[in-house]
Structure 1
């Protein structure tokens, strides 16, 4: 079951809407108006990581960034993508690995870690 993302009581992404996928799921929201700008998912197991890099480079200033992982978010992760995620306020980007779970509400060039993030390290011994 993939993640569901909501903002201001509006479901932006969900399995029911059929717009989430394996890897990293992103929703960009205008930080002033609250209008959803776009939603995208990037397959971090067998997809092209350079598509994610291009997407991250093009995030406009003043944009809120919602990120939720699903299944595998770390296999294709490289130093460049980890740096971009850190710049969004993700304090766990450097350790994000295979089947780890995370979500984040951040913004481009956030100077500190986001107060709205959660991370759960994959543990094959305790997974259900």
Structure 2
């Protein structure tokens, strides 16, 4: 079909569909030319070559670890913020909270007390460890409210030189304590056992006959005016490192 366009006094005859087809081919030619030019530029700059962009697995630099890996690898055993030095044992100890939550004790990456399978008990919980190998020799708890103090005294007397001694309170550690038991614990290096009272919270770590270990201790008094749990003080935590004994 032929269309007639009138421009001023003149009349122009044109075939409109043919002009549209011509315009389409010009656009296609322009796009093809642009793509060719872009491809040439990419070939010139080797940083943008196709083989550098796809199908290459990510390889982390040898001298730089991911932040997630660094976060996990920088933590120590027993969930310490940082690893202990070489030839040291790691420990984390939590007292009980009131008479509801029992004590927890982790030594060198193993939870000795805590959880359903390894619960502590009310009173004074004690873990004895070989100072050279880190092997747990014995663990027990002594109820200082309902039970007698004599089993605790005999246990303290049985501790051998070269042993690490870790003690942690739960509920009430002091009501049945007598002078003999307090003296034996004082000889291990405790400064607070002489004043340990009803429902105080207490943590103690020492080495029997090991001069290279300085006793570590935390103590908080049961004071109803400042207690966190009414009739019980807040829970205590201690974490740290103790040197392995040389044979």
TM-score (norm 2): 0.49
Task: Select 2:137's aligned residue among 37, 40, 46.
Answer: 37
1:25 and 1:120 map into 2 onto residues whose CA distance is 17
2:224 and 2:214 map into 1 onto residues whose CA distance is 28
Task: Give the number of the structure with larger relative contact order, counting CA–CA contacts within 8 Å between residues 6 or more apart.
Answer: 1
1:90–1:114: 8 Å Cα contact kept in structure 2?
no
Task: Please state how far the C-alpha of 1:56 moved relative to its aligned partner.
Answer: 0.4
**Per the alignment, do residues 121 and 90 of structure 1 end up closer, same or farther by CA in structure 2, a change over 3 Å counting?**
same
Classify the secondary structure of the residue corresponding to 1:94: helix
Alignment gaps of 5+ in structure 2 = 1-100, 230-247
Higher Cα radius of gyration: 2
Task: Select 1:116's aligned residue among 200, 208, 216.
Answer: 216
The match for 1:6 is 106
Task: Select 1:27's aligned residue among 124, 127, 130.
Answer: 127
The structure in which a higher percent of residues are strand is: 1
Task: Select 1:106's aligned residue among 206, 231, 235.
Answer: 206
Q: Any idea what the Cα deviations from partners look like across 1:3-58, whole Å, max 9, x if unmatched?
A: 10111121111143343111000000000100011110000001110000000000
Classify the secondary structure of the residue corresponding to 1:82: helix
The structure in which a higher percent of residues are helix is: 2
Aligned length, in residue pairs: 128
TM-score (norm 1): 0.92
Alignment gaps of 5+ in structure 1 = none
2:201–2:219: 8 Å Cα contact kept in structure 1?
yes
Task: Select 2:164's aligned residue among 43, 50, 64.
Answer: 64
